[in-house]
Structure 1
């Protein structure tokens, strides 16, 4: 029996999801349908963690991430939302899948198949016990594609083609190796956690840079470094004295 908790503030969407789950597998038990962060907080104080959670992101009284910041959720989560802008935040949790609404039987089946596959693989692993451990390993599956918005279009950008990420006040811009420019809703902190550290380096508060985009680095005043990229940058890219040695080791290795 797979015990599933549904977190969804739209009653119709919650009923449809519950019906889909029951039709897919008779061994699925819907523990509860909750519609707010507050209701979830109360539920988790008196109930055991479910085997799996299907969760919307925007709830009646806030974002579901408010719940995960307050409760140590050990259960894997399938996120169901109408927005793709929270994808990076979602995979900072125990996410196993991210479904864009409308949620269909096909999407739910794929998410359940992934959940059962991961569970099965993990149970055969002699060195790591428990699904949460496997989920922690999954977090090292770094992003290979980012979705950017340009007017009405959603454009997939290959991460390896991004020269650098740049924070301008509160907006993060990306510039590609082919000199295209887009903006993101993510923070640099989100991106730093989602990018392969062997490929990308947080040079300072404004820049995350791709190793493939580095033309050269020059010694600068007070043992700092000035890094020049193959793509133009809006300001000098300075690596501090404190980070200079670490940066050069990263660049070499």
Structure 2
């Protein structure tokens, strides 16, 4: 498997290379590129890799500018010190988003995810690359980045990345923003669950849909249930049932 690393901290790039090659001897790291400019030049002169590890904030700009300028079709695992770019990362062929420092466990889980994706797409029914592109395109088209709220004579666009959680009570759907505002929607929770990216949002129960970035802590509760605490204040406790606890914990560690 041919892997490209885009990382402006040479020590971090070498550590990532060492860990990846230790996990899977089949990995061949083609290059460690420290800048947007060098990455753009590399893609012009070389065949695409099978997989890319990429930091986001490079010395000469964001790595997203690389993938917007060059037709990069390989899956990307983003490795960054910042958690502000998750949604944008998944719009750029991202299949995983790791926060630094990246250790062997995190990287192994990401490579396992890549392997599962590869197995899924390498089956009968056509070219792997075409199926990957089709799947990524469907993911981008399916999930909304913006919801529209009607307020009096105005229509207010809400960026889904800015939503802390959505709450249902007494027939009313309330959207609570990370900055503290509250808005109301006419969609049902079921409809919203289908509209929002399942990588970023989780249907906790009949009352809540929560944003991954809003989760502050998780506590064990009675009867093997979980209570989820958010950075934002919630109208009631968010309780995950016993039957969904494992699914939630898998989601939060994706």
Per the TM alignment, residue 11 of structure 1 is displaced from its structure 2 partner at its CA by 1.1
Partner of 1:244: none
Provide the alpha-carbon RMSD of the alignment. Answer: 3.2
TM-score with structure 1 length normalisation?
Answer: 0.59
Distance 1:97 1:20 in 2: 17
Distance 1:55 1:24 in 2: 18
Partner of 1:9: 8
Distance 1:100 1:147, change over 3 A: farther
Partner of 1:71: 70
Deviations 1:134-176 (A, max 9, x none): 3333444679xx887xxxxxxx94456673478xxxx976527
Report the 3-state secondary structure (helix = DSSP H, G, I; strand = E; otherwise coil) of the residue aligned with 2:74. coil
Distance 1:45 1:39 in 2: 10
Distance 1:40 1:49 in 2: 11
Distance 2:181 2:51 in 1: 35
1:91 paired to 2:90: yes
Q: Aligned pair count?
A: 170
Matches for 1:187-202 after TM superposition, within 5 Å: none
Contact kept? 2:166, 2:175, Cα under 8 Å: no
Query: Which is higher, the Rg of structure 1 or of structure 2?
Result: 1
Q: Which portions of structure 1, spanning 4 or more consecutive aligned residues, are displaced by more than 6 angstroms?
A: none
1:175 paired to 2:186: no
Partner of 1:103: 102
Distance 1:117 1:66, change over 3 A: same
Distance 2:121 2:167 in 1: 30
Per the TM alignment, residue 69 of structure 1 is displaced from its structure 2 partner at its CA by 1.4
Report the 3-state secondary structure (helix = DSSP H, G, I; strand = E; otherwise coil) of the residue aligned with 1:38. helix
Report the 3-state secondary structure (helix = DSSP H, G, I; strand = E; otherwise coil) of the residue aligned with 1:117. helix
Contact kept? 2:144, 2:195, Cα under 8 Å: no
Matches for 1:122-161 after TM superposition, within 5 Å: 122-124=121-123, 126=125, 129-130=128-129, 131-139=132-140, 140=142, 157-159=164-166
Per the TM alignment, residue 124 of structure 1 is displaced from its structure 2 partner at its CA by 1.8
Contact kept? 2:167, 2:175, Cα under 8 Å: no
Partner of 1:116: 115
Deviations 1:94-127 (A, max 9, x none): 0010000000111111111111101111112526
Mark the runs of 5 or more structure 1 residues left unpaired by the alignment: 149-155, 178-194, 201-211, 213-253
